[in-house]
Amino acid sequence: MNEINKHQLKDGTGKVLAEGKAFLGDALKMTGAQMSINSVPVGQAGPFFHLHKENEEIYFIVSGEGEYQVDDVIIPIHEGSFVRVGPGASHNLKNTGKVPLIFLCVQVRSNSLGDISHDYEITQTTPKFH
């Protein structure tokens, strides 16, 4: 996980806003969502509170512990926790633990699936697993 710390979040001018944030959308050739893996050092918070106008985010805590704030609500988080943040909600998190807080974040357009509840088809593919 130390590789995460080599990545940076920069603003439009190139100013570094945060260390330890790697966007995976392009690397994974995602076309309908963005995904990042993140590392927050002990005692630190994300670089800023923010909200999304049309997107929702799902956070999965890989390791560590902390607090996630959505508007005025504090949610305790730890390894295995999920947090969903809807559009218009101001949010950020803080590492309150003793090890780096590692999490995945997936961002998608809210209601992007619409009325689609079964977007799959069972196939007759022969398993080739070893």
How does pLDDT run across 22-44, given as a tens digit for each residue?
A: 777 777 888 888 888 899 999 99
pLDDT band at residue 1 using 50, 70 and 90 as cut-offs = very low
Give the tokens for residue 69. 């704030």
What CA–CA distance (Å, rounded) separates 107 from 59?
A: 9
Q: Which residue has the higher pLDDT, 14 or 129?
A: 129
The reported pLDDT for the residue numbered 33 is: 85
Which single residue is written with the structure tokens 């196939």?
123
Choose among 49, 48, 37, 44: nearest CA to 89.
49
CATH class of 23-109: mainly beta
Q: Span 93-117, mean pLDDT?
A: 88
- pLDDT of 97 over the 50 cut: yes
- Average pLDDT score, the chain: 85
Q: Indicate the pTM of the whole model.
A: 0.76
Q: Which residue has the higher pLDDT, 78 or 122?
A: 78
The reported pLDDT for the residue numbered 121 is: 80
- pLDDT of 4 over the 70 cut: no
Q: Span 91-114, mean pLDDT?
A: 92
